[in-house]
Structure 1
Amino acid sequence: MSDSLFGTPFIAAPMAGGTSTPALVQAVQAGGGLGFLAAGYKSPDAMSAEIGAARNLGIRFGMNLFVPDVGQLSPSPETLARLEAYRTELEPDASRYGVALPQLRTDDDDAWQGKIDALLADPVEFVSFAFGLPGKQVVKALQKAGTLVVSSVTSVQEALAAAEEGPDAIAVQHGSAGGHTAAFLSGTPGGGVQAAGTTAGLVAQVRAAVGLPLIAAGAIMDSAALRQVLAAGASAAQIGTALVRTEESGARQPHKDALGDPAFTQTAMTRAFTGRMARSLVNDFVRDHEGAPEGYPAIHHLTAPVRAAASAAGDPQRLNLWAGTGWRSSREGSATGIVRDFLSGL
């Protein structure tokens, strides 16, 4: 399938928490790719400032938003009790670094409406969504403003629901992808029902169900994997883990180092860091909190001081080390060279 919608088959995934930067997007474009920035955890003003920085560099880019889960913003008494119990469970981790845990917060919708309003007032080329669907009204408003809209899914069922809203493309995320799952329909512990064993297999399933351009995501670490998902029907691939260790990545140094450390031998899906399933290298924190409850972004706020302190101490054992299953192939250097290597093999 043609990649004309994006102009390239290589898309740098939006990685929230500081990893995606205008410098990374610039380096990706220099190599022949397209980069996305991440609005997650930022204020609307901070998002707009990053858009301005990217425009000053004269680069193409997209922006990714988290769709808030209304259910998480109005937790039941039982859910609140589980979250408070988890806060107590986290106290030894906080004590290790001499930091205090914040009080439980359940009202954070990631400034959803403020970000939508800002993107309508000052449109960008692409806007993608994760953790849910933005709604037909938002999709149509962004498209009217001149923006191409991308919805993220993890299953055929989610793809069919997304297609009903009329986006311009769908990002298809396999369970092998690093970081948070984009799943929003129930059915499995990770969210959407996912039958395919590989990213290419899932793309083929979604390709058979919907006619929109597809972006493949999940353990795409080299040109061979890129060729596979393109052959399965994707217009492009969304690459994350392969870029985390690059010079232009804003990832914390202990995270970058852990991806190249042979002491880490596996990844796992975990709620321990944020209350939402995400794939991370398995470290002490993941092992210590295997029973972490669902509760995003409340748990994200609870663990934030611990993660920040662990990073400052250079301790990867209590840091969220997001990584896809192909993390062993990640490498250092400029993102420009990595993108060129991907594309040269096509």
Structure 2
Amino acid sequence: MVTLHSLPHAVVGAPMAGGPSTPSLAAAVSNAGGLGFLAAGYKDAAAVAEEITRTRDLTDAPFGVNLFVPDTASTVGSGTSGRIGEALAYRQQLAREYPPELLPLPDPEDDDGWDAKLDLVLRLQVPVVSFTFGLPAREIMTALQDAGSAVVVTVTTAGEAAQAVSAGARILCLQGPGAGGHRGTFDAAAEPAAQPLTELVRGVRTISPGVELIAAGGICTAAQVRTLRAAGADAVQIGTALLLSPEAGTADVHRAALQDPQFTHTALTRAFSGRSARGLANRFMAEHPDAPAAYPLVNQMTKRLRAQAAAAGNPHGTSLWAGTGYRSAAPEPAAAAVARLGSAAGVP
């Protein structure tokens, strides 16, 4: 079974749903001695299977697949009326600005193909399976581990870390406040924790000395890597640092925005998805500061809006996920980023 200590470079390529994570990127990170990841979110099981096959064609090294844990507070039978009502009210607000046909009605029964994807990663014996947005059941983690897969659970607080360890997790991805994209909080409606990543790593290492820890969130420099390793991280995870890599599937509008001086900072928003996420601060985020905590319903409603804006090259109408270290991202091959940061990661 894969362990972080078995990696030539203690660098994990973050799973980035929505396009950036590709088989080419995952394989490039793994071939460079890190641990590459595919993002299964927003894809059906057949598409994920194709990506796993393609990744295996490109590398013999271990890689991982990330799954989104369904938000049970947004599924039928779990008190959905409040969140559905909030999402529909937000849709009415957006319909005053955009054509209704670009705002499909949300589907509270959509669980992102959870069961089919679980069956897939079990059947294909993916080397590493990670989970974001919640804690899978103990029996799910046990089944994966029995099949030979290492299991990673994304957490954002020491409390979530304790829950995951109690449920059988042996590897945790500790996501700090500087992370680009969605925060992995177990409760989508909760305000995301602001504890600095180094403090989170140090605290979880103290209470869970036998668990492997991946530090994630805004990491783009060797100095950050050395600090996090010294705090107790076994590996670091990079995502924003890979967005400009040629192997990444980052959209053209996103690539351009990351290098455009008009975008001066990142900010947290629920405007695009209903779940707190960090991206380059743009007009859509500024115009919708009070979007409801109704993931994945809001995400479903704005998908066409975002796609249309991206196709038109409009950076102010789509999500531009990025961590706080985005200015350090470079248009370099993924292997170069892994080697540069992996060199620092080798110094605890």
TM-score for the superposition, normalised by structure 1: 0.93
Check if 1:78 corresponds to 2:74. Answer: no
Is contact 1:219–1:324 with CA below 8 Å preserved after alignment?
A: yes
Distance in 1 (alpha carbons) for counterparts of 2:4 and 2:85: 48
Q: CA deviation at 1:188?
A: 5.0
Q: For 1:30 and 1:143, locate their aligned partners in 2 and report how far apart those are by CA, in whole Å.
A: 24
Offset of residue 94 of structure 1: 3.1
Structure 2 SS opposite 1:255: helix
Equivalent residue of 2:244, what SS?
coil
Identify the range of structure 1 (128-137 vs 118-127) with the bigger mean alpha-carbon deviation: 118-127
Percent identity among equivalent residues? 43
If the length of structure 2 is used for normalisation, what is the TM-score?
0.93
Task: Confirm or deny: 8 A CA contact 1:280 1:322 kept in the other structure.
Answer: yes
SS of the counterpart of 1:285? helix
Deviations 1:22-72 (A, max 9, x none): 111222234332111111011111111111111111242100000001111
Change (3 A) 1:344 1:120: closer
- Map of 2:247 onto structure 1: 248
Could you tell me how far 1:5 is from its partner in structure 2? 4.4
**Partner residue of 1:113?**
115
Aligned pair count reads 339
Deviation at 1:342, TM superposition (A): 1.4
What is the CA distance between 1:104 and its match in structure 2?
2.4
Secondary structure of the corresponding residue to residue 317 of structure 1:
coil
Give the alignment of 1:41-52 within 5 angstroms.
41-52=42-53
Instruction: Give the whole-Å Cα distance in 2 for the aligned partners of 1:125 and 1:6.
Output: 13
Structure 1: which amino acid aligns with 2:87?
L
Letter in 1 for 2:129: V
Contact 1:94 1:305 in 2 (8 A): no
Residue 65 of structure 1 corresponds to which residue in structure 2?
Answer: 67
1:165 equivalent in alignment to 2:167: yes
C-alpha spacing 1:188/1:304, structure 2 compared with 1 (3 Å): closer
Aligned to 2:236: 237
Q: Distance in 1 between matches of 2:82 and 2:64?
A: 39
Residue 206 of structure 2: aligned partner: 208
Q: More deviation in 335-344 or 112-121?
A: 335-344
Bigger CA drift: 208-217 or 55-64? 55-64
Instruction: Give the equivalent residue in structure 1 for 2:92.
Output: 88
Instruction: Letter of the 2:108 partner, please give it.
Output: T
Q: Secondary structure at the match of 1:90?
A: helix
Is the Cα contact below 8 Å between 1:99 and 1:309 reproduced in 2? Answer: no
In 2, the alpha carbon distance for the partners of 1:145 and 1:77 equals 39
Partner of 1:332: 331
Does structure 1 retain, via aligned residues, the 8 Å contact 2:269–2:278? yes
Match of 1:22 in 2: 23
Give runs of ≥4 in structure 1 deviating > 4 Å. Answer: 185-188
- Number of the residue aligned with 2:152: 150
Gap regions ≥5 residues in structure 2: none
CA distance in 2, matches of 1:38, 1:76: 27
Which runs of 5 or more structure 1 residues have no equivalent in the other structure? none
Residue 285 of structure 1 pairs with residue 284 of structure 2: yes
Q: Residue 215 and residue 47 in structure 1: after superposition, are their counterparts in 2 closer, same or farther (change >3 A)?
A: same
- The alpha carbon displacement at 1:303 in A equals 0.4
Q: Deviations over 1:126-183 (max 9, x none)?
A: 0000000011000000001110001110010000000011122000000110000011
| CA–CA distance in structure 2, aligned partners of residues 341 and 20 of structure 1 | 20
SS at match of 2:9: coil
1:297 Cα shift? 1.0
Pairwise CA distance, 1:92: 4.7
User: 2: CA distance between counterparts of 1:202 and 1:233?
Assistant: 10
Q: Distance in 1 between matches of 2:227 and 2:191?
A: 27
* Cα deviation, residue 251, structure 1: 1.3
In the alignment, does 2:9 pair up with 1:8? yes
Q: After TM superposition, give the deviation of residue 187 of structure 1 in Å.
A: 9.2
Q: Does 1:55 align with 2:53?
A: no
Aligned to 1:294: 293
Amino acid corresponding to residue 116 of structure 1 in structure 2: L
| Counterpart for residue 270 of structure 1 | 269
Counterparts of 1:93 and 1:245 in 2: how far apart (Å)? 32
